Amino acid sequence: MLLATQLQRVFILRDKGQEIRLCDPEPRWSTEAVLNFYAPTYPILTTAKISAPAIRDDAVEYRFETVMGTKG
Amino acid at 72: G
Model pLDDT for residues 35-49, shown as the tens digit of each residue: 999 999 999 999 999
pLDDT bucket at 32, cuts 50 / 70 / 90: very high
pLDDT computed for residue 70 by the predictor = 54
Q: Say which DSSP state 56 is in.
A: E
Average the pLDDT over 36-64 and give the result. Answer: 94
- Name the band, by pLDDT with cuts 50, 70 and 90, for residue 72: low
This prediction has a pTM of: 0.83
